[in-house]
Amino acid sequence: MLSDGSGDWQPTAALDILKLRARILERIRAFFFERGVLEVETPILSSAATTDPALASLSTRYTGPLFPHGQTLYLHTSPEFPMKRLLAAGAGSIYQICKVFRDGESGRLHNPEFTMLEWYRVGFDHHRLMDETGELVMQLLASSLSLQAPEKLTYREAFIRHASLDPHRATAEEFARAARDHHIDVPRRLRGHDDLAAWRDLLLTHLVEPGLGQGRLTFIHDYPAAQASLARVQPGDPPLAARFELYLNGVELANGFHELADANEQRTRFERQLHARTVAGLSAVPMDAHLLAALTHGMPDCAGVALGIDRLVMLAAGARSIAEVIPFPIDRA
């Protein structure tokens, strides 16, 4: 993409692709209308931020009535926390289509602001939600791609199939050997380190993901407890997170959870993540006290999932980069 010259006012996406994008959004709304799932809107700006060390929030400042001396507000990285407050308030199953924001993320599959579809199903577990996600995505892609029936693999099965190693049991040395066997260069900052989550991510991104979702939707589920994020953890050996991800053509499309509803456990995870941020030299951010209060009040048993609309449109259009499906990526914003 050219970044100089006078052509920068023009969209990077073809108008045909923008029309396809509009049709996809229309069909998503029809899908949820038929199923009685309510469309909601929640604030983009929040006094709290995600504590996840893997996500960097952008921030801005509001000054005026209510906050005469100014208030730092974080742009949401996903609408998860306020949507859970609505669930706790008795809204029932809900969905939202909105822009979300992530600092530090730009590339072929990333733009710092992107469009997310997020929905919550009261009474569903992650397996039922995987099934519904599969139905939605198959419907949306039906006119562009011919796909076989979706498959479900555990995180462990996916690693064994594509990296010949058990991600729950492998040591740092074994991850390093697998990387070497598959000619994957190991970043300097990882060599000799036993940051197992980083080792798993290295092999996941370089070796496992490219093989996922070939000709069909692939759901990966049962993540290591350390990567539970906001999912329930089922005790066992090893304990497994009730979390799933959806892949097509090696591209990560969606991430879902059987949602953690325990306020104490949620607080512990926030605190653990804030500690991890400090250790990693990342900025401290305020945790979401409203979410904790809502969980204390009680959130119904539910599963939720977030799906990247831009990547979905990419796959439907056969595009190689996100810039081909959004009119103005960050360098033309």
Partner 1 sequence: MATYSTNEFKAGLKVMLDGDPASIVENEFVKPGKGQAFNRVRIRNLKTGRTIERTFKSGETIEAADVVDMEMQYLYNDGQFWHFMNPESYEQLAADKNAVGDNAKWMKEQDVCIITLWNGVPLVVEPPNTVTLKIVETDPGLRGDTSGGGGKPATLETGAVVRVPLFIQNGETIKVNTRTGEYISRA
Q: Which residues bind partner 1 (CB under 8 A)?
A: 52, 54-55, 104-110, 184-190, 197-198, 200-202, 204-206, 209, 227, 229, 245, 252, 255, 306
Written as six digits, the tokens of 132 are 């519904």
- Cα(299)–Cα(85) distance, rounded to whole angstroms? 8
Q: How far is the CB of 295 from partner 1 (least distance, A)?
A: 20
Q: How far is the CB of 205 from partner 1 (least distance, A)?
A: 5
Q: Using an 8 Å Cβ cutoff, are 69 and 63 in contact?
A: yes
37 or 116, CB closer to partner 1?
A: 116
- Cα(50)–Cα(37) distance, rounded to whole angstroms? 26
Number of alpha carbons in the 13 Å side-chain half-sphere of residue 263:
15
20 or 243, CB closer to partner 1?
A: 243
What is the C-alpha end-to-end distance of the chain, expressed in Å? 14
132 or 245, CB closer to partner 1?
A: 245
Q: How far is the CB of 172 from partner 1 (least distance, A)?
A: 15
Q: How far is the CB of 241 from partner 1 (least distance, A)?
A: 10
Whole-number Cα distances in Å, 152 to 41, 200, 212, 227, 257: 31, 19, 11, 18, 15
Written as six digits, the tokens of 260 are 């953690």
CB atoms within 10 A of CB 186: 16
178 or 306, CB closer to partner 1?
A: 306
Q: How far is the CB of 39 from partner 1 (least distance, A)?
A: 23
60 or 205, CB closer to partner 1?
A: 205
Written as six digits, the tokens of 136 are 């939605």
Written as six digits, the tokens of 35 are 């199923």
122 or 172, CB closer to partner 1?
A: 172
Identify the H or E element spanning 255: strand 251-258
Q: How far is the CB of 21 from partner 1 (least distance, A)?
A: 20
Q: How far is the CB of 197 from partner 1 (least distance, A)?
A: 7
20 or 221, CB closer to partner 1?
A: 221
Mention every residue, 6+ apart, whose C-beta is less than 8 A from residue 81: 46, 48, 288, 290, 291
